[in-house]
Structure 1
Amino acid sequence: EVDVTLADMTADVRAATPSHAAQLLWPLRREYWQRLDELSLALERARQGWLQRQEDRLQRCERGLRLCSPARRLEGAGQQWQQWRQRLLQAGERLVRDRERSLQHSQERLRALTGPGRLAHLQQRLALLEQKLGNAVHLMVRGREQAVRDCTRDLARLGQERVSHRGHGLECLELRLAACNPLAPLGRGYAVVRTDEGRVLSSTGQSSAGQDVRILLQDGELEARITAVHPHDGQGGDHA
C-alpha cells in the first residue's frame, strides 16, 4: 500500500502517482484553452468594432469636407448662374413674342382705321420700339451675367482665403510640435545621458563611479563609463 504523509493530508489536492496528477491537471488545461479562445474572440470583436467606428467617423469627416469644399460652392454658383441666364433668355423671348403678337394685333386694327401714311409711321415707330426692347433685354442679360461673374470671383477668393488660413494654422501646429520635441535640443549641442536600463540621468546623485551609461547625441549614441562624480557646489564651479 502507498504510504500517506502528513503533507498529503494537509494538501488541497493529492495525487497518488504522476500519471494521476496529469489526469487531475488535464481538465483545468482545457478550461484555460476555452477561456483563451473566448478572450481571443472578444478581442477580435472589439478590434472590428473599433475599426468600424473609426471608418464611420472618417466617412462623416469626408462628407463634411465635401459639403464645405470651395470647389463644390463654385460648382453650385455656376449651376445657379446657368439657371438665371436661361430664365432671363426665356423671359426675354416670351416678352418679345408677346410684344410681337400685340403689335400684329395693333397693326391689323390700324390697317382698318388709318390710311397708308399713318400705317407707315406706325411701322417705323414699331421698328424703333422693337430695337429699344432688344437693347433693353440685351443690357439686362449682360448685367445679370456680370453679377454672376462677380459672385463667382468672390466665392473663389473666399475659398482661397479659407485654404490659406487652414495652411497657416497647420504651419503653427507644426512649429508647436517641433518646439515640444524632447530631442530638438540635441541639434544645438546638448545630449541625453541614460543608464543601461534606459533611465534618464538628470542629477549627479543618480549616478556613481564605474557606472556604464549611454549618451544620446543628434546623430547617434555613445557608450561610456563614469570615472568620477563631482556634484555641483552651488557656487558656479565646474562639475562633471
Structure 2
Amino acid sequence: MRIFSVSDITRAVKDVLETEFPFIWVKGQVTNLARPASGHVYFTLTDGDAGLSVVWFKGNQRGGVGDDSEKINPLTGEVESGEAIKLEDGMEILCAGHMNVYPPRGAYQLIAELIQEQGVGDLRLAFEAMKRKLADKGYFDEDRKMEIPRSSSKVAVVTAPSGAAIMDFLRIAQVRGTGAEIRIYPTLVQGDKAPAQIAKAIGKVCEDGWAEVLVLIRGGGSLEDLWAFNTESVADALFSSTVPVVCGVGHEVDISIADYVADKRVATPSHAAQELWPRRETLMQSVDELESKLVRSYKNFLEVRNSRLETLRKGLTWLSPSQKIDRLLSSFSEEKLRLKRAADLFTKRKSSELEALMHRLTNVLDERHFETLDKEIFDLSARLERSGKVFIDNKFSEFDSMANSLRMLDPEMPLERGYSLVTVEKSGTFLRSPDEVVNGDGLRVRVKSGEIRAKVVTK
C-alpha cells in the first residue's frame, strides 16, 4: 500500500485541475472583495450555493482609473484601451481564466484573465431588435442551413491574422485530422470598419469557389468588442454564403447574430477546429477497429466459402457414379441380410406352430381321450334325462293348477251347484241389483239344464 505525502496529493490535484480546466468562463456575484497595495484583486465569486476564490493579478488588468493607454488583450490578441472594470461587492460579472491550485493552503482558485460586467444596455437592446428582425426574415431557419463536411481538406478562415483566435485554431488543427490546406482571409474583427471587411472577406471566399467550409472566428470580449458580428451586413453575407459556415466568435457565453445565421455555431475558435477534424488518436483507433473488423470479416468470408466448398465437394462425391454403385451394392447387401433374417424367423415361427398342432392332434387321437369323452357324454345324457323328467312333471303340475283355477273362474260352475244367472234382456248384462230393472223389463234366467224367460212385476 502506497502512502502519499500532502505534497504528492496537492501536486496530483493541481495537475488534474489545471489540465481539465485550461480556460473557463464563470458567472457569479462578487463577495469578500479585497484590494491590497500590490494592485492585485482578490474576491469570492458566488451563486448562492457555492463560492469560488478568484485572483485578478495586476498584469491581467486592462488599466487603472484614468489610464487610457492601449494594451493587447491576452485572450483575443486585439488592441484594447480604457479603464478596467471597477469591481464592487454584489456586482454580477463574467470572469474568464484558468483554474489553479495554491499549494501552501491546498486550495483551488480561478486566475482571472478577463472580467466583464453582466447587464442590459443600449447595445443589448439593439442586439435583441436585430435578432427579431433577422428571425422574421428567415435568417435563422434550420432548413436553410447547410451540413458541415467532416474532415475538410480545404478550409477558409476569416479572422484577424495576428489574434489569439487564429493561433488557437491552427494549434488545434495541427494535431487533428489527416492534414488540410488552410487559407486565411485577413480582416478586422473589432471597430467601425470591421463589419464591411468581414462581409467582403466572406464574399471573397464564395467568389473563389475553392473552400469546402468557411470558418469565422474571433476571441472573447465584451458585447461592444464583439459588435461587428451583430451587424446586418455581416448577417447578410453569411446568409448569402454558398459555402457552409462554422462560426466560433468569443467564448461559450458569447452568442452573436453571426452565430444564429451560420450553419454551425461552436463555443470557441478552438472548438471550431475540433468540429472540423477528429483527433488523430481517434482516427488511428478507428483505423485499428476497421482493420480488426476487416480481418474478422475476411476470416468469416473464408470460413463460409470453405464450408460451402466442403458441402459442394461432399455433394459431388455423392453424385459420383462409382459412389452410387458402391451405395447400391451396400444397400443390396443390407437387404439380402435382412431377407435372410426374415426367412429364418418365418421358418422358425412356422416350425413352432406345426409342432404345437401336432401335439394337439396327438392328444385328440389318444384312446384315453375318447374314453373321457364317452364318460362325459354318458353323464350329460343322464343329467339331461333327469332334468327332462323333472321339467315335464313340473309342467304337468302347473297345468293341473291352472286348469283348476280356470274351472273356478268359469261362470257356469255355480250352475252345477243349483245357482242361476239372470241377465237383463234389453241390455244383455248380468243382474246384480233390483234397482237395475223396472216393472215390465224382460229377464233371462239361465239354470244348469236350460234358460227361462221372465218379466219383472212390481207391486
Q: Tell me the TM-score normalized by structure 2.
A: 0.19
Higher share in helix: 1
Higher share in strand: 2
Q: Greater CA radius of gyration, 1 or 2?
A: 2
Structure ranking higher on relative contact order (CA contacts 8 Å, 6+ apart): 1
